[in-house]
């Protein structure tokens, strides 16, 4: 029988050799090379949550703005608006035109029972009767004078009476014509007509109401709402940028995603001493009737249509030292920081004069986040895995 003894020293040597081989194998594995990004570039990992806060937009050439949007008000076009009062006193009877109704020139607005009209008609009838009497008296006196029966002064007096009667009759006739009365019938019925075509936008009259010719508020306001005005106050330092005939862009809160085009028609020649502004008026077409008088508006005064520029939101710009910078997307999660030359700065945007081209993809929101990420990468000297 052969007995084999266990050799602990041999086992120890074997384990030591295995450990050395394992260490040698681990040390011989090639190390991962971490490549540093070029200066002024940022790379976000595909699974980085920061990507959700980055917003991009394609750079486009647009018409160059000349100043910040000016606050204005839409108003009636006064050349196509009539504020109507009654030229004569009376009591309202019959039907009255309704508010918001479209009327034509000559349409009936209201009917009045007017003793004042009856008096004017009676005065005309009396003046006409006096004229007829003066005509006959003048003819008779002329015949008598021709036969030497009456002296010359009687003939001249008859002619003078005829002229006076004619003038009085004409005056009474013109008074009725001014009221729109062209008939010789005597009654108290007065009809108030629309002087222009348009929409009744205001009505301050009711049945049974006593109307006077000197009432301060108009009974009706009629306006052609397809033509409106936009009135704005421009600071005197900017008034040289606006000229009659130029187009402006109008925006109203009711339609935030739409714009309307108006034309500058009048620039005041007086500066308001308190506000240092000049009143400017623009013609605003409103064929579809969606705009209303008294609406607030923001007006963009722009340059010639052929004068294009690159406009970026101020959220895309940031300052380092004395320069303005922004980020441009150059790949999936890859951004380049670039210096630019900014021109006119408006309330929420700026004109870029140099450093950015149309067609490039700009970071419009999240530029400061990328700036922070750039600092972190520079501290580590490499991109994050």
Is residue 316 domain-shared with residue 338, that is, in the same domain?
Answer: yes
How much is the average pLDDT of 79-100?
93
- What confidence tier does 59 reach under pLDDT thresholds 50, 70, 90? very high
Q: End of a domain among 127, 153, 183?
A: 183
Q: How many domains does the chain have?
A: 3
Q: What's 137's domain CATH number?
A: 1.10.287.470
| C-alpha distances out from residue 190 to 125, 187, 211, 291, Å | 17, 9, 12, 35
pTM of the complete model: 0.68
Q: DSSP assignment of 127-140, as one string?
A: HHHHHHHHHHHHHH
159, 183, 207 — which closes off a domain? 183
**Alpha-carbon torsion (86, 89, 94, 98), positive or negative:** positive
pLDDT digits (tens, 9 = 90+) for 309-322: 999 999 999 998 88
Q: Does residue 253 carry a pLDDT above 80?
A: yes
pLDDT, tens only, 270-286: 999 999 999 999 999 99
- What token pair was written down for 17? 């050799």
Domain contains 34: no
Q: How confident is the model at residue 382 (pLDDT cuts 50, 70, 90)?
A: very low
Domain boundary among 266, 301, 336: 301
Please give the biggest Cα pair distance in the chain. Answer: 197
Q: And the tokens for 354? A: 């140099």
Residues 153 and 135 in one domain: yes
Mean pLDDT of the residues in the chain: 86
Looking at the structure, tell me whether residues 255 and 279 fall in a common domain.
Answer: yes
Task: Tell me what pLDDT residue 378 has.
Answer: 66
Dig out the tokens for 320 from the structure.
Answer: 């380092």
Percent of the chain with pLDDT over 90: 55
The CATH number assigned to the domain holding 318 equals 2.40.420.20
Q: 19: number of CA atoms within 13 Å, CB side?
A: 6
Look at residue 12 and tell me whether its pLDDT is greater than 60.
no
Q: What is the pLDDT of residues 117-135, one digit of tens each?
A: 888 888 888 888 889 999 9
pLDDT above 80 (res 28): no
- pLDDT exceeds cutoff 90 at 358: yes
CATH number, domain containing residue 232: 2.40.30.170
Q: How many CB atoms lie within 10 A of CB 141?
A: 20
Task: Give the separation between CA 38 and CA 373, rounded to whole angstroms.
Answer: 14
Q: Residue 126 is part of which domain span?
A: 118-183
Phi, psi for residue 130 in degrees, rounded to 5 = -60, -35
CA distance 380 to 86: 86
What mean pLDDT do residues 12-16 have?
46
Same domain, 360 and 345: yes
* pLDDT at residue 244 greater than cutoff 90: yes
Please say whether the dihedral angle defined by the alpha carbons of residues 166, 172, 178 and 181, taken in this order, is positive or negative. negative
Sign of CA dihedral 234, 236, 237, 242: positive
Q: Is residue 209 part of a domain?
A: no
Give the residue-averaged pLDDT of 92-104. 93
Q: Burial of 361 by CB count in 10 Å (0-12 exposed, 13-18 middle, 19+ buried)?
A: middle
Task: With a cut of 70, say whether residue 26 has pLDDT above it.
Answer: no
Predicted confidence (pLDDT) at residue 31 exceeds the cutoff of 50:
no
DSSP reduced 3-state for 59: coil
């Amino acid at each position: 029988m052969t007995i084999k003894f266990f050799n602990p020293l041999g086992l120890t040597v074997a384990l030591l050799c295995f450990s050395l081989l394992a260490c040698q194998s681990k040390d011989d594995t090639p190390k991962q090379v971490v490549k540093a990004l070029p200066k002024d570039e940022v790379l976000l990992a595909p699974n980085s949550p920061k990507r959700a806060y980055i917003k991009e937009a394609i750079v486009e050439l647009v018409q160059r703005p000349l100043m910040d949007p000016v606050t204005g008000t839409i108003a009636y076009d006064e050349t196509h608006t009539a504020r109507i009062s009654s030229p004569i006193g009376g009591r309202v009877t019959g039907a009255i035109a309704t508010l918001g109704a479209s009327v034509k020139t000559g349409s009936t607005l209201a009917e009045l029972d007017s003793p004042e009209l009856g008096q004017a008609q009676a005065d005309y009838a009396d003046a006409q009767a006096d004229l007829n009497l003066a005509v006959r008296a003048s003819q008779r006196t002329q015949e008598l004078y021709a036969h030497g029966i009456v002296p010359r002064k009687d003939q001249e007096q008859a002619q003078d009476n005829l002229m006076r009667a004619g003038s009085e009759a004409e005056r009474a006739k013109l008074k009725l014509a001014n009221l729109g009365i062209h008939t010789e019938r005597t009654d108290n019925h007065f009809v108030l007509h629309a002087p222009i075509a348009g929409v009744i936008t205001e009505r301050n009259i009711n049945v049974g109401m006593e109307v006077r010719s000197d009432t301060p508020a108009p009974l009706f306001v009629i306006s052609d709402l397809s033509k409106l005005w936009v009135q704005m106050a421009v600071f005197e330092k900017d008034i040289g940028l606006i000229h009659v005939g130029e187009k402006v862009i109008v925006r109203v809160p009711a339609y935030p995603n739409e714009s309307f085009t108006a034309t500058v028609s009048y620039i005041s020649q007086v500066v308001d001493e308190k506000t240092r502004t000049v009143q400017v008026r623009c013609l605003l077409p409103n064929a579809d009737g969606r705009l209303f008088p008294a609406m607030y508006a923001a007006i963009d005064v722009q340059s010639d249509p052929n004068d294009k520029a690159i406009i970026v939101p101020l959220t895309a710009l940031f300052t380092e030292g004395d320069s303005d910078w922004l980020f441009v997307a150059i790949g999936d999660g890859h951004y380049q920081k670039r210096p630019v030359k900014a021109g006119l700065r408006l309330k929420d945007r700026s004109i870029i004069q140099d450093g950015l081209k149309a067609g490039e993809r700009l970071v419009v929101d999240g530029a400061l986040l990328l700036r922070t990420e750039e600092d972190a990468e520079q501290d580590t000297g490499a991109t994050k895995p």
